[in-house]
Amino acid sequence: MDAGKAIFETVDKLRQRRTAPLVLELDLTEGLTEGPPSDPLSMVLSMRKPRLSDVLSGLRRARQDSRVKGLVVKIGGSPMGLAMVQDLRQAVTEFRASGKPAVAFAETFGEFGGGTVPYYLATAFERVYLQPSGDVGLTGVAVEQRFVKGTLSKLGVGYEVGQRHEYKTAANTFTQDHMTEAHRESIGRIVESVTESLVAGIAEGRRLDPGKVRELFDRGPFTSAEALEEGLVDELAYRDEVYDEVKRSAGAEAHLLYVTRYAKGAAVRKLPQPMSDGVALVHGHGMIRSGRSGRSPLGGGGAMGSDTISAALRAARRDEQVKAVVFRVDSPGGSYVASDTVWREVTLTRKVKPVIVSMGDVAASGGYFVSMAADVIVAQPGTLTGSIGVYGGKAVLTELFEKIGMNTELVGSGANAGMFSSSRGFSPEQWERINAWLDRIYDDFVGKVAKSRDLTRERAHELARGRVWTGADAQANGLVDELGGLEHALALARGRAGLADDAPVRLYPRLNPLERLRGPDSSEDKSAALARLRVDAWGPLARLSAELGLPATGPLILPSWYVIR
């Protein structure tokens, strides 16, 4: 009898919990992950990180759900890129527009350090709470680059690099001892464009004059008491005080639920019919390389493999229930050949159904190459894109070898057989081949930009030359079509395909467990898009990287220090 009563009470509690009011919660202590895990190691490393697409879809659904009474977000210290933050800000703003309260809590916005971007995120919320011991590191925007040419020269290491053109500065850290005029011009404009976005968002969110916000940038960072006095936060409180207040306002029966759990639970309750039409979402994350996506166990993060992305696009293209494709690109670039492979698949897919590109924090160089053929390119104002250019060369270790008493001899057949050896520089004849290669890549890149973006070649070259643009400036110059995030791109895809506003979104490739186990029958099989853990993930420059202790890169690459956090 007691057991039966216990079971009845448990079932009753579960029933009440399913119908009770909800306060959605998002913990950003560990940040967010951009897309689904690309390999087993990524799956383990991202287990505790919520996925951006789940958060966005959950908040979109919650706007119309009468059970959801509010939102509370803990903003942590883990850095997130500016474009991802702008995606979140947009989702929070739309959630608030439904009349539901949203509050942000932080232990600190930078502990003896900068916290401008996390604080910018917080200003999208109705109320901002700060722990009494915390600070607001509102210090503005800075991009810093270190130049190691002098250090390398002392070691006897030189670099011979060609680039197209003056704004293609990825190798400058090795070839220069200071910023060139073009380099400083490009970085200066990026900093100002980002500052404009931050100032506008903070001013609107905190109801301050933009001039006042710039003045606060100059005076920060602020202690908690100073932040409260300046109107940067609404109240100083600890987590328990904030959460108790939020739950009281939602009602005694309300309980907390993570946004991602809410999104997945709602998706399970409203499973689409097996044959329902929808949108395919393909994620391309990390450095672009030939082969399959994955991650090196030696470090360096994930990589966008051309085989994996191409197979996913082919699968989406051939699926009759997929009426449009959203290609989410978050990549600094990499291999030219691999980028061109993906570009071709985007082009072929666009002939069959609409393709919308949604740019993440970075979609530059090769990341722009794979994006430019889409019907519509959507980027956030803080996205870093463009970098339409190319560079190539090698380190020359001749002097270093002499200093340490090392001698190398090369026996080859053919005048240029050893041209990529790091033990000697390029000959004039070899430089002719390098320059021909650089010119060919640059001409192809610019020509495809001109055709894709409906520009003259002269205008495309003017916008190219290796220059990096923010999404706001790229949109103003015609390299990007619209400003917005992933949800905006999905809405555009649904609209272009004539689908309902709530048409399902499916990650591609979609594989059942059996397909994952048996492997692909051919390169045309959708399971060919499976990623793998690559031990050889250093790429074509593995030998050079091993000699110098540097990561391998491709000729279309943006330095990682460009990302605004």
Known catalytic residues are 168, 365
φ, ψ for residue 297, nearest 5 deg: -70, -10
Determine the straight-line distance between the first and last CA of the chain, rounded to whole angstroms. Answer: 59
Strands 158-164 and 302-305: unpaired
* Nearby residues of 272 by Cβ (< 8 Å), 6 or more positions away: 278, 504
Q: Which residues of 119-131 are buried (b: 16+ CB within 10 A; e: fewer)?
A: bbbbbbbebbbbb
- Strands of the 22-27 sheet, one edge to the other: 235-236, 127-130, 102-106, 68-74, 22-27, 255-258
Quickly tell me which residue has 């190219």 as its tokens: 464
φ, ψ for residue 159, nearest 5 deg: -125, 135
φ, ψ for residue 204, nearest 5 deg: -65, -45
DSSP-assigned beta bridge partners for residue 289: 305
User: In angstroms, rounded to a whole number, what is the distance separating the alpha carbons of residues 328 and 51?
Assistant: 13
- Cβ of 185: how many Cβ atoms within 10 Å? 14
Q: How many secondary structure helices (H) and strands (E) does the chain include? A: 22, 24
- Cβ of 538: how many Cβ atoms within 10 Å? 20
Which amino acid is present at 338?
A
Q: Is the peptide bond before 40 cis (omega within 30 degrees of 0)?
A: no
